[in-house]
C-alpha cells in the first residue's frame, strides 16, 4: 500500500469522526441534557471513528460522500425541526427531540439514496 492510500484512509476516518459528531452531539444532548459529562467527547467521536474505519477499509457498502451528506444535512434538518417544534427545554421533550433527530437522519438518508 502506498503512502497516499494511508493518508486517504486517515482522512476518511478523521473526516467521518468530525461529521458524525454533529448528529451524535444532538443525540447526546437529548440523552444527557444540558449537563456535560466527562465522557461526552469520546461518545461523540467514537461512532465516527468506527464508521470512518469501516468506510476506509471497505467493510460497508457506503461511500464517504454518503457519510458526509447524511451527517451534515441530518444535523441541519434535525436542528431546524427541533427549533420549529420548540422542543426546548429538552428535559421535558426528550421523546420529541429524539424523534426529530432520528426522523431527520432517516429522511436525509433516503434523499441521499435517491440522489445518487
On whether the CB atoms of residues 27 and 101 are closer than 8 A, the answer is yes
- Weakest-pLDDT range from 14-18, 47-51, 61-65, 106-110: 61-65
Q: What is the DSSP secondary structure assignment for residue 60, as one 8-state letter?
A: S
Residue 1 is predicted with a pLDDT of 66
Average pLDDT over residues 82-111: 89
* Angle in degrees, 0-180, between the axes of helices 64-85 and 94-115, rounded to the nearest 10: 140
On whether the CB atoms of residues 47 and 28 are closer than 8 A, the answer is no
- Say how many CA atoms lie within 13 Å of 37 toward its Cβ: 12
DSSP secondary structure, 14-27, as one string = HHHHHHHHHHHHHH
Number of other residues whose CB lies within 10 A of the CB of residue 5: 10
Percent of the chain with pLDDT over 70: 98
Number of other residues whose CB lies within 10 A of the CB of residue 33: 13
Domain hosting residue 26, numbered range? 3-115
Cell for 55? 468506510
Domain count, the chain: 1
On whether the CB atoms of residues 26 and 87 are closer than 8 A, the answer is no
Amino acid at each position: 500500500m502506498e503512502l497516499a492510500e494511508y493518508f486517504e484512509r486517515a482522512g476518511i476516518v478523521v473526516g467521518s469522526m468530525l461529521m458524525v459528531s454533529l448528529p451524535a452531539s444532538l443525540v447526546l444532548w437529548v440523552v444527557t441534557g444540558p449537563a456535560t459529562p466527562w465522557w461526552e467527547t469520546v461518545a461523540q467521536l467514537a461512532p465516527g471513528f468506527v464508521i470512518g474505519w469501516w468506510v476506509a477499509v471497505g467493510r460497508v457498502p457506503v461511500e464517504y460522500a454518503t457519510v458526509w451528506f447524511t451527517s451534515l444535512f441530518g444535523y441541519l434538518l434535525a436542528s431546524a425541526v427541533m427549533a420549529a417544534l420548540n422542543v426546548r427545554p429538552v428535559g421535558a421533550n426528550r421523546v420529541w427531540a429524539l424523534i426529530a433527530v432520528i426522523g431527520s437522519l432517516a429522511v436525509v438518508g433516503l434523499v441521499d439514496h435517491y440522489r445518487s
